[in-house]
């Protein structure tokens, strides 16, 4: 028994370290540094980008809570792109790309996820044609709150909407007045009330000066 306790004491720093490693856990889905997407005769080149994610990058954008440190990247076709994804927050964030060719990327997706703070790197080979891919964090409400970007290949085929600091929302956030029977009634009531008040004040004023 004593020997066991002694061994456990010796092992405790190792166990603590192992626990710490589990704190910062990360996940990569559909990494692809080798398979050429259809239409790419060879890997055109290698490129690495560093993407930071967290609350602190939302500061410049009104209404945003989370953001990446950059909202748009433009990469040549058939490039092997390595993404170094750094999560600065103490919660989970993702770098998720959509719309990739499904033959090479199941469900057209590529994802790096980090429960932060921490970082993870992974590579993918980009397709050959001019297209804009959606990049976002799929954790509930993170996209709506600003964690949205675009990855353009060969200049892209468009700009996505609602990119913090870059593009306008697809649907403007307006609050039009809807006229219903009850809203018209309330408006008339308010007008009548206002008229009554003015009449009452005039009556009071006149009765005061006539005294
Ligand atoms: Cu997130």
Q: Full-prediction pTM beyond 0.75?
A: no
What's the 184 CA to ligand 1 centre distance in angstroms? Answer: 44
- Residues 95 and 121: their CA atoms lie apart, in Å, by 11
- Residues 151 and 71: their CA atoms lie apart, in Å, by 8
Helix, strand, or coil here: 55? helix
What's the 147 CA to ligand 1 centre distance in angstroms? Answer: 6
Say which DSSP state 127 is in: P
User: For residue 19, what pLDDT is reported?
Assistant: 37
97 pairs with which residues across the strands? 110, 135
What's the 14 CA to ligand 1 centre distance in angstroms? Answer: 31
What's the 57 CA to ligand 1 centre distance in angstroms? Answer: 12
Which DSSP helix (H) or strand (E) runs through 89? none
- Residues 128 and 165: their CA atoms lie apart, in Å, by 28
User: For residue 1, what pLDDT is reported?
Assistant: 55
The architecture (CATH level 2) of 24-153 comes to Sandwich (2.60)
- Residues 115 and 49: their CA atoms lie apart, in Å, by 20
Of 67, 81, 44, 27, the closest CA to residue 147 belongs to 67
What's the 90 CA to ligand 1 centre distance in angstroms? Answer: 10
Give mean pLDDT in consecutive 10-residue pieces for the chain, a chain of 211 residues: 54 45 76 98 98 95 95 98 98 98 97 96 98 97 96 97 91 72 87 92 89 70
User: For residue 38, what pLDDT is reported?
Assistant: 97
């Amino acid at each position: 028994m004593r020997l066991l306790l002694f061994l456990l004491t010796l092992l405790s720093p190792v166990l603590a370290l192992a626990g710490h490693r589990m704190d910062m856990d990360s996940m990569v889905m559909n990494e692809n540094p080798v398979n050429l997407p259809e239409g790419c005769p060879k890997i055109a080149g290698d490129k690495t980008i560093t993407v930071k994610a967290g609350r602190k990058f939302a500061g410049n954008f009104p209404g945003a809570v989370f953001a990446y440190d950059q909202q748009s990247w433009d990469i040549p076709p058939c490039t092997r792109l390595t993404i170094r994804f750094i999560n600065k927050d103490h919660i989970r964030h993702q770098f998720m790309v959509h719309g990739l060719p499904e033959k090479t990327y199941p469900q057209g997706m590529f994802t790096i996820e980090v429960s932060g703070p921490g970082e993870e790197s992974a590579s993918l080979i980009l397709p050959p044609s001019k297209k804009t891919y959606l990049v976002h964090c799929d954790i509930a409400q993170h996209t709506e709150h600003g964690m949205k970007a675009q990855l353009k290949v060969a200049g892209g085929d468009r700009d996505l909407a609602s990119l913090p600091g870059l593009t306008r929302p697809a649907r403007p956030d307006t609050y039009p007045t809807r006229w219903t029977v009850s809203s018209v009634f309330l408006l008339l009531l308010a007008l009548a009330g206002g008229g009554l008040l003015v009449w009452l004040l005039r009556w009071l004023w006149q009765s005061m000066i006539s005294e």
